[in-house]
């Protein structure tokens, strides 16, 4: 029997959040590909031309539409996925509004060829601007092909607002990448202007889908994560703390298989990375959150990317814990000269076509050095499809980097301090690697952690300055500081009002030694002027700035001082970064060195 498509009743229609609008080629792509996924396809091919403005084709091998329902599929509020409001609370399909095909058909020329396995012929239906032009029987395989041409030909206003081909392609690439990654059990093919961009294997392995959609270098920078708690599960990949990008485009989050933009989750992800990535950079992730469907509301917004959780707090805590734990256990050492040489080796094969989805998503994803290797390795995308298996082997083969937690666990066993360079970096030899430690970053992290601990335990010890320091402030700063005096006192500063908009500092926290200068107080006031009412922010700013000022710049360290610093690293938990997110330690393996000297290939 063919699956029934019916028009929803008014009550249900009224319950569904306002109708969706087809606003650009990427929205067409999203709707068509989601329909293919809902149709149970195991293979979906997307082809676009000129950013999808001229041509979009989606072909699937799903269940198809029975001949008696083909026209109905194009009517408003017609769907096979829900029948009444009761179903709204338990949606397991991506679509449910029954509006997409109708909306697309109204503003384009759309052709559908579809066949169910019960019929030995298919139906071809052609609709132009909402009017049926052709309907005929046709021979075709089981499944559905939809071709959308000349989008917005009859709505000049929207036509005018379409972006350049490359900008629209970028949007489409994002959509198909997200859908491919949330359905690793489906093999997705993506073709742009006759170039094969990627094909995912469809073998249910997220890792291999990531390698196909992006590339193996990106994959190498990801940490696997899997975490369970009674009725909630988080799984997928998160980026190494040093693999960051300038925006949040590569934070891909799914809830129950549906791509969402959840401010709540994004915020928790960033929170878990706080102090571990450099300021103004954003971590990357491909994460699936599975929760009881009755505990979310997907009906918030027609574009369906926003979501509401019933148990927000549980979700927040769980996600935070899971990420923090994965980071602690799996952060690898940033490499000194990562993979640059490999790039040189492959430079003959630089590709013109490139991997559009990968390009767009990754280009900014890879900061400085990683980027280099990406560009050089693009050649590998040409015949990448039949090399995916090989890629995969390489990925697992070379995944033997130094994990920070195990490095710290065995740090004290056997290490050799080679010395110090530029009065700033300590060189350490250990096992088959050598390490460069930024002594200032390390020192800053150490005193910062100790200071926090003391504050937490209310055990801050102060020391009296031999020469009290007088600070002159503007009236505005003076008021701000007076209002926040409590925070300074809590941290072991003794500051008093000294008349005429000035204050006198008599004591500072012992742990800071003697801060070199007190300009940090001006800096804190500058920074917090607008945020001073945010609880905790002021104190955090004081701690960070004060620790910074306590660090000595360009100091020659003797062996004992170096040894002490190195051994104190042992007390830290990964990732090893200073409180501002910069790395403390870099590694270079003997293997890399020998490769660079061409002793080994």
* Binding site partner of 28, from ligand ADP, Mg ion, none, Cβ cut-off 5-8 A by kind: none
* Binding site partner of 65, from ligand ADP, Mg ion, none, Cβ cut-off 5-8 A by kind: ligand ADP
Interface segment toward Mg ion; rule CB under 5 A; list 31-39, 187-195, 334-342, 513-521: 31-39
Interface residue with ligand ADP, options 52, 66, 98, 574 (CB under 6 A): 98
List Cβ neighbours of 188 (8 Å cut-off, separation of 6 or more).
Answer: 44, 45, 46, 176, 179, 180, 198, 199, 200, 202
Cβ distance to ligand ADP smaller for residue 95 or 241: 95
- For the bound state, the minimum distance from the C-beta of residue 174 to ligand ADP, rounded and expressed in Å, comes to 20
* Binding site partner of 358, from ligand ADP, Mg ion, none, Cβ cut-off 5-8 A by kind: none
Other beta carbons within 10 Å of 18: 8
Q: Is 95 in the site for Mg ion (CB under 5 A)?
A: yes
CB 54 within 8 A of CB 108: no
In the chain, count H helices and then E strands.
23, 26
Interface segment toward Mg ion; rule CB under 5 A; list 88-96, 243-251, 320-328, 457-465: 88-96
Size of the site for ligand ADP (CB under 6 A): 24
Cβ distance to ligand ADP smaller for residue 80 or 420: 80
Cβ distance to ligand ADP smaller for residue 93 or 462: 93
- For the bound state, the minimum distance from the C-beta of residue 528 to ligand ADP, rounded and expressed in Å, comes to 49
d(C-alpha 424, C-alpha 553), whole Å? 8
Size of the site for Mg ion (CB under 5 A): 3
List Cβ neighbours of 74 (8 Å cut-off, separation of 6 or more).
Answer: 101, 102, 105, 125, 127
List Cβ neighbours of 321 (8 Å cut-off, separation of 6 or more).
Answer: 227
Subset of 21-40 contacting ligand ADP (CB under 6 A): 31, 35-36, 39
Interface residue with ligand ADP, options 20, 47, 60, 539 (CB under 6 A): 60
Interface residue with ligand ADP, options 53, 57, 81, 445 (CB under 6 A): 81
Output the six-digit token pair for 2: 């063919």
- For the bound state, the minimum distance from the C-beta of residue 70 to ligand ADP, rounded and expressed in Å, comes to 9
Cβ distance to ligand ADP smaller for residue 149 or 540: 149
Q: Tell me the residue nearest to ligand ADP as measured from the CB.
A: 95
Interface residue with ligand ADP, options 144, 212, 404, 487 (CB under 6 A): 144
- For the bound state, the minimum distance from the C-beta of residue 78 to Mg ion, rounded and expressed in Å, comes to 10
Q: Is 64 in the site for ligand ADP (CB under 6 A)?
A: yes
CB 448 within 8 A of CB 579: yes
Nearest residue to 378 (alpha-carbon basis) of 356, 398, 397: 356
Subset of 541-600 contacting ligand ADP (CB under 6 A): none
Interface residue with ligand ADP, options 27, 59, 79, 165 (CB under 6 A): 79
- The answer to whether the Cα torsion of 249, 27, 12, 291 is positive or negative is negative
List Cβ neighbours of 264 (8 Å cut-off, separation of 6 or more).
Answer: 309, 312, 315, 316
Cβ distance to ligand ADP smaller for residue 5 or 473: 5
Exposed, middle or buried, 352 (CB in 10 Å: 0-12/13-18/19+)? exposed
Q: Is 73 in the site for ligand ADP (CB under 6 A)?
A: yes
Cβ distance to Mg ion smaller for residue 93 or 155: 93
List Cβ neighbours of 353 (8 Å cut-off, separation of 6 or more).
Answer: 195, 381, 382
Interface residue with ligand ADP, options 65, 287, 370, 550 (CB under 6 A): 65
Cβ distance to ligand ADP smaller for residue 45 or 433: 45
Q: Is 45 in the site for ligand ADP (CB under 6 A)?
A: no
Q: Is 99 in the site for ligand ADP (CB under 6 A)?
A: yes
Q: Tell me the residue nearest to Mg ion as measured from the CB.
A: 95
**Which stretches within 20-96 are classed as H helix?**
25-38, 70-73, 85-88
d(C-alpha 211, C-alpha 201), whole Å? 10
> Is the backbone peptide bond immediately before 592 cis, with ω within 30 degrees of 0?
no
Q: In what side-by-side order are the strands of the sheet with 258-260?
A: 222-229, 232-239, 285-291, 251-255, 258-260
Q: Is 35 in the site for Mg ion (CB under 5 A)?
A: yes
| Backbone phi, psi, residue 234, to 5° | -125, 130
Nearest residue to 81 (alpha-carbon basis) of 68, 67, 65: 65
| Backbone phi, psi, residue 64, to 5° | 75, 180
Interface residue with ligand ADP, options 24, 59, 96, 434 (CB under 6 A): 96
* Binding site partner of 487, from ligand ADP, Mg ion, none, Cβ cut-off 5-8 A by kind: none
Subset of 289-318 contacting ligand ADP (CB under 6 A): none
Nearest residue to 493 (alpha-carbon basis) of 517, 510, 475: 510
Q: Is 100 in the site for Mg ion (CB under 5 A)?
A: yes
- For the bound state, the minimum distance from the C-beta of residue 187 to ligand ADP, rounded and expressed in Å, comes to 16
Which residues make up the interface to ligand ADP (CB under 6 A)?
5, 31, 35-36, 39, 60, 62-65, 73, 78-81, 95-102, 144
Which residues make up the interface to Mg ion (CB under 5 A)?
35, 95, 100
């Amino acid at each position: 029997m063919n699956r029934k498509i019916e028009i929803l009743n008014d009550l249900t229609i009224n319950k569904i959040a306002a109708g969706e609008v087809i606003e650009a080629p990427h929205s067409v792509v999203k709707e068509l590909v989601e329909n293919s996924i809902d149709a149970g396809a195991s293979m979906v091919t997307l082809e676009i031309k000129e950013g999808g403005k001229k041509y979009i084709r989606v072909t699937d091998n799903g269940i198809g539409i029975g001949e008696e329902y083909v026209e109905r599929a194009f009517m408003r509020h017609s769907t096979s996925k829900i029948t009444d409001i009761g179903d709204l609370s338990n949606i397991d399909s991506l679509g449910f509004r029954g509006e997409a095909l109708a909306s697309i058909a109204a503003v384009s020329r759309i052709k559908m060829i579809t066949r169910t396995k019960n019929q030995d012929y298919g139906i071809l239906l052609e609709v132009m601007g909402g009017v049926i032009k052709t309907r005929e029987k046709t021979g075709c395989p089981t499944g559905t092909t939809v071709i959308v041409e000349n989008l917005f030909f009859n709505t000049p206003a929207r036509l005018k607002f379409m972006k350049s081909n490359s900008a629209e392609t970028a949007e489409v690439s994002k959509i198909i990448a997200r859908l491919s990654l949330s359905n690793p059990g489906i093999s997705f093919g993506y073709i742009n202007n006759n170039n094969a961009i990627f094909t995912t294997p469809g073998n249910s392995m997220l890792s291999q889908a990531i390698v196909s959609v992006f590339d193996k270098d990106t994959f190498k920078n990801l940490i696997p994560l899997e975490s369970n708690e009674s009725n909630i599960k988080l799984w997928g990949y998160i980026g190494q703390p040093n693999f960051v990008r300038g925006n949040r485009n590569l934070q891909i989050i799914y809830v129950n298989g549906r791509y969402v933009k959840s401010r709540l989750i994004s915020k928790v992800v960033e929170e878990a990375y706080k102090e571990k990535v450099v300021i103004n950079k954003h971590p990357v992730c491909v994460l699936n959150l599975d929760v009881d469907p009755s505990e979310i509301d997907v009906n918030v917004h027609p574009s369906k990317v926003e979501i509401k959780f019933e148990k927000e707090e549980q979700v927040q805590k769980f996600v935070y814990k899971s990420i923090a734990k994965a980071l602690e256990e799996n952060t690898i050492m940033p490499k000194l000269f990562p993979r640059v040489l490999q790039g040189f080796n492959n430079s003959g094969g630089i590709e013109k076509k490139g991997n559009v989805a990968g390009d767009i998503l990754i280009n900014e994803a890879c900061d400085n050095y990683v980027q280099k290797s990406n560009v050089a390795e693009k050649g590998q995308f040409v015949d990448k499809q039949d090399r995916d298996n090989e890629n995969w082997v390489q990925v697992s083969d070379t995944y033997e980097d130094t994990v920070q937690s195990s490095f710290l666990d065995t740090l004290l066993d056997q290490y050799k301090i080679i010395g110090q360079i530029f009065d700033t970096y300590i060189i350490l030899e250990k096992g088959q690697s050598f390490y460069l430690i930024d002594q200032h970053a390390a020192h800053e992290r150490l005193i910062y952690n100790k200071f926090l601990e003391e504050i937490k335990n209310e055990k801050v010890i102060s020391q009296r300055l031999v020469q009290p320091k007088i600070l002159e402030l503007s009236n505005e700063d003076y008021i701000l500081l007076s209002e926040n005096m409590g925070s300074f006192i809590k941290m072991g500063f003794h500051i008093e009002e000294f008349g005429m908009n000035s204050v006198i500092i008599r004591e500072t926290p012992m742990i800071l030694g003697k801060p070199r200068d007190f300009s940090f107080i001006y800096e804190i006031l500058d920074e917090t002027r607008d945020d001073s009412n945010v609880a905790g922010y002021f104190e955090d700013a004081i701690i960070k700035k004060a620790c910074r000022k306590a660090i000595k710049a360009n100091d020659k360290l003797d062996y004992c001082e170096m040894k002490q610093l190195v051994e104190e690293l042992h007390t830290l938990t990964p990732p090893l970064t200073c409180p501002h997110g910069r790395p403390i330690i870099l590694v270079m393996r003997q293997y890399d060195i020998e490769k660079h000297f061409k002793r080994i290939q």
